Chain A
Amino acid sequence: MSLLLRRIHLYLALFLAPWILMYAVSTFVMNHRRLFHGPPPEPPPQYEVERELVYPGEMPEGATPQQVALQLLATLDLDGAHAVARPFTAERVVVNRQDAISPRRITYTAADKKVRVEKMIFSGAGFFERMHRRRGYQHNYVLDDLWAISVDVTIVALILLALSGIWMWWELWVTRRLGALALGAGIGLFCLLAAVL
């Protein structure tokens, strides 16, 4: 049991190191918002025009903004996790296409069938925040579901790493006293802050 726990602790941590690294750095960035984003209010993300075109096909009669978005993304070869921006109107559809590195904003105007594709200008802080907040299950894309599963695995791993760490510490007689002090101090401080904040 002890050996198995040690191996799980080690290999799980080695496998999930990139996720843990990403969450650690992104948390640091969000904890120092002023340092990375400047004083509030934060400016909105900046975009640059990537391409402009006249939509070559026809939108179905009475298509909803969501249907327009799907057709647009398929035509532009940008199919993937996205959200249609409010307000939902058939005249002007704005689609925010998620992407880890380069999110895009696609604007379609029905009157002249013009499509403008804008790419978000990369910022390190923005990238880490996006990765930190990225979910998956709500989109109909396999890769997003896989990401969501990887997030769930990281969650389970975090809990497991903490609990297996306690187990391994308890097995080491020589570290019990100082370890108990560290664990007790941590729990005490955490409870105090949880009670008053």
Chain B
Amino acid sequence: MKFPHINRRTHLYLGLFLTPWVLMYGVSSIPFAHNDYFEERDKALGVPLWTKTFDGPFDLGPVTESGSLKQLGEPVVRQFKLEDSSYGVYRQGPNQINIYVHTFWKSTQFKYFIDEKRLTAEDRRFRWEHFLTGMHARGGFEDGRFLHTLWAVLIDAVCLAFLAWIASGIYMWWSLPGLRKWGWVAVLAGIGSFSIFLYRL
């Protein structure tokens, strides 16, 4: 097997394997790029986005400025049996800690009021654009659990595949002398307009 053949096949099979991710990143970019449109459309429905499911006393113990926020959220996530989901903990203010628990299908937001030792839980209504943007924005190796890490590894694979597709695509284009002229036009037009954006944007 010669290099051009390996190059073509790698370009093809890598593309086929990663097709769902490429399509997902493409489609999910639409609600990101046109966020105002989707928000207005949803607002027009007149249905609240969040529904309160819990409001009551909860003691997280002493909350220090320097302690790990992630650890602070652990008992809440465990209590509500959401430990399989990924979650983030943020300090909303001096007296409030927010915990966001997120799966592709469901989001729950907890608010812990330190002074009152009170916790509220709200579930977010399912929206397809949130499902897509949630997938798009998911990443990172911080979680450490196997499937979460696998997702992050696949994101790296998609990134590297894009580089490989560009390199192998350029190689294949260069191997077809009849397409060089228009190919150059496309390459230079792309680099030129992108450079203008970089310089002026």
Contact = CB atoms under 8 A, between A and B. Distances in A.
Interface of A: 7, 10-25, 27-28, 30-34, 81, 98-101, 134-135, 137-138, 143-144, 146-148, 150-152, 154-156, 158-159, 161-162, 165-166, 168-169, 172, 175, 178-179, 182-183, 185-187, 189-191, 193-194, 196-197
Contact of B197 (A11, A27, A34, A100): A100
B191 A18 contact: yes
Contacts, number: 180
Interface string B171-189: 0110000010011001101
B44 interface: no
B16 A182 contact: yes
B162 A162 contact: no
B130 interface: no
B45 interface: no
Nearest to A98: B201
Given A13-B169, A193-B150, A31 B19 contact: no
A158 B138 CA distance: 19
A11 B104 contact: no
Nearest to A24: B162
B36 interface: yes
Contact of A152 (B21, B33, B159, B169): B33
Given A15-B189, A21-B166, A159 B16 contact: no
Contacts of B166: 13, 17, 20-21
B80 interface: no
B187 A15 contact: yes
Contacts of B49: none
A187 B154 CA distance: 13
A32 B21 CA distance: 18
* Interface residues of chain A: helix, strand, loop or mixed (majority): helix
A177 to B, nearest CB: 11
A131 B60 CA distance: 39
Contacts of B162: 20-21, 23-24
A27 B159 contact: yes
Which 6 residue pairs are nearest across A and B when measured between Cβ atoms?
A: A158-B26, A190-B20, A18-B194, A24-B162, A14-B186, A15-B190
A23 B26 CA distance: 11
A162 B22 contact: yes
13 contacts: A14-B169, A20-B162, A20-B166, A21-B163, A24-B162, A28-B156, A100-B201, A101-B199, A158-B29, A179-B16, A186-B18, A189-B154, A193-B147
Given A134-B201, A147-B201, A185-B17, 16 more contacts: A13-B165, A15-B186, A20-B162, A24-B160, A27-B158, A28-B156, A33-B142, A34-B141, A138-B36, A150-B197, A155-B27, A166-B16, A169-B16, A178-B13, A190-B21, A193-B150
